[in-house]
């Protein structure tokens, strides 16, 4: 299997390499953007004689050390990398900091994007990529995406979580797409650029170097290389598999396991009864997952230093596992167990100050309203999980688009 970065550094794409050598290049990337030999994109570019003018980085910074929602400062250069280009953070303290400013693109002719994504609408890297590519297009700068496979599969049958309703778009979903979207960054950008009316391909606003040899129905466990964590709380493939559901916990006062070694798989709170919650989840007969009671003490974030009781989820069958359904069920059962202690987040979330985090994550207010009214888990799932069937065609068209009109 050859990813975009592998194809750039290999014997293919000689026209693109010549074009980049003769261009004033900006790069949007981070520490997880390595090739099959473990070499970072900036090293690959240096070997090809390409020196970026500026390096842009997404949430968590160039190295995945900043925690979620932690503003990252710009630096003079990327650490331990063979370039002296300044590093500009695209995750600051304001929404305006999330895209390159026009003056930061002055003198640039090509923007190269190489980011490792995890296949969920909430994961902000794809929106950083889209904002950057749109800013580049507005400045007359061509964008090239070095694409990577979706680690939780590109299977259109695995789509889950309906697109956001109007009024509920945010930095955890700038454009309406399913929560588990089964697409790559290149496919998503090409989809929205086509909607914007932009021309695709090397002579247009956006082109994509697609992955060769990717079996879309399989997860990262079948890759010919290790899974490289793209952010501090995304250490494994299994974490990525549960994340489309596990991130919903960020809208509640339940610990999603931040401050432990298994974030998003371990869920709990000081006021829960783990054995009872585990048994309730077993009775729900959720497919592809094994649940067991656990106790844990987070070292930071929610309930730091307190003993939490709850459950740990183990994915036993990635094909049948449905993360959104599973975690909505868990949240509903946890609230039913401790309705007086359970709370929904009311503090600002990802630059949004007026809409509750749970609404931004689920894509509307209906699930939150049903949850606080004591609706059943199944009723809440039915409000969020189903995806309109036409999105399967959207996924198929996305793959065709990056191998056709958008292809380098």
Segment 161-197, tens digit of pLDDT: 999 999 999 999 999 999 999 999 999 999 999 999 9
Q: Residue 299's pLDDT is what?
A: 98
Q: Which domains does the chain have, with CATH numbers?
A: 4-228+391-403 (3.40.50.12170), 237-384 (3.90.1150.140)
Q: What is the mean pLDDT of residues 108-133?
A: 98
Question: Facing residues of 330 across strands?
Answer: none
- Is the per-residue pLDDT at 141 higher than 80? yes
Can you tell me whether residue 319 is helix, strand or coil?
coil
Q: What is the mean pLDDT of residues 116-129?
A: 98
Instruction: Report the C-alpha gap between 397 and 62 in whole angstroms.
Output: 32
| Cα distance between residue 106 and residue 109, in whole Å | 9
Q: With beta carbons less than 8 A apart as the criterion, state whether 57 and 75 touch.
A: no
Residue 80 has pLDDT above 80, yes or no: no
pTM of the model: 0.96
Residue 11 predicted with pLDDT over 80? no
What value does the mean pLDDT of the chain take?
96
Q: What is the pLDDT of residue 77?
A: 72
Q: What is the pLDDT of residues 316-348, one digit of tens each?
A: 999 999 999 999 999 999 999 999 999 999 999
Report the alpha-carbon distance of residue 108 to residue 119 in Å, rounded: 30
Percentage of the residues of the chain whose pLDDT score is greater than 70:
100
């Amino acid at each position: 299997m050859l990813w975009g970065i592998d194809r750039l550094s290999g014997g293919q794409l000689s026209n693109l390499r010549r074009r980049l050598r003769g261009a004033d290049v900006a790069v949007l990337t981070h520490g997880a953007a390595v090739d099959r030999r473990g070499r970072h994109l900036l090293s690959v570019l240096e070997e090809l004689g390409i020196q970026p003018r500026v390096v842009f980085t997404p949430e968590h910074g160039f190295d995945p050390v900043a925690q979620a929602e932690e503003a990252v400062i710009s630096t003079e250069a990327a650490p331990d990398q063979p370039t002296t280009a300044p590093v500009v953070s695209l995750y600051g303290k304001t929404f305006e900091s999330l895209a390159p400013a026009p003056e930061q693109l002055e003198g640039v002719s090509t923007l190269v994007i190489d980011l490792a994504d995890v296949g969920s609408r909430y994961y902000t890297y794809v929106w950083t990529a889209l904002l950057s590519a749109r800013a580049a297009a507005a400045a007359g700068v061509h964008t090239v995406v070095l694409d990577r496979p979706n680690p939780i599969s590109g299977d259109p049958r695995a789509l889950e979580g309906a697109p956001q309703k109007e009024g509920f778009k945010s930095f955890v979903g700038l454009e309406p797409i399913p929560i588990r979207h089964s697409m790559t960054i290149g496919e998503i950008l090409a989809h929205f650029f086509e909607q914007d009316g932009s021309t695709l391909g090397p002579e247009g606003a956006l082109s994509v170097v697609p992955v060769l040899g990717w079996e879309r129905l399989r997860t990262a466990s079948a890759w010919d290389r290790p899974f490289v964590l793209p952010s501090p709380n995304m250490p494994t493939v299994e974490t990525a598999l549960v994340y489309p559901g596990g991130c919903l916990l960020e809208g509640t006062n339940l610990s999603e396991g931040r401050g432990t070694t298994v974030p998003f798989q371990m869920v709990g709170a000081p006021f829960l009864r783990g054995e009872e919650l585990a048994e309730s989840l077993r009775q729900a007969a959720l497919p592809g997952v094994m649940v067991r009671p656990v106790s844990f003490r987070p070292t930071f974030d929610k309930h730091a230093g307190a003993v939490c009781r709850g459950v740990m989820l183990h994915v036993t069958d990635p094909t049948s596992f449905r993360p959104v359904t599973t975690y909505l069920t868990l949240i509903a059962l946890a609230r039913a167990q401790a309705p007086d202690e359970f709370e929904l987040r009311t503090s600002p979330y990802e630059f949004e100050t007026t809409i509750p985090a749970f609404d931004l994550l689920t894509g509307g207010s209906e699930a939150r309203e049903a949850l606080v009214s004591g609706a059943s888990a199944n009723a809440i799932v039915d409000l969020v999980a189903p995806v309109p069937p036409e999105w399967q065609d959207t996924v198929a068209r996305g793959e065709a688009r990056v191998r056709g009109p958008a292809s380098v």
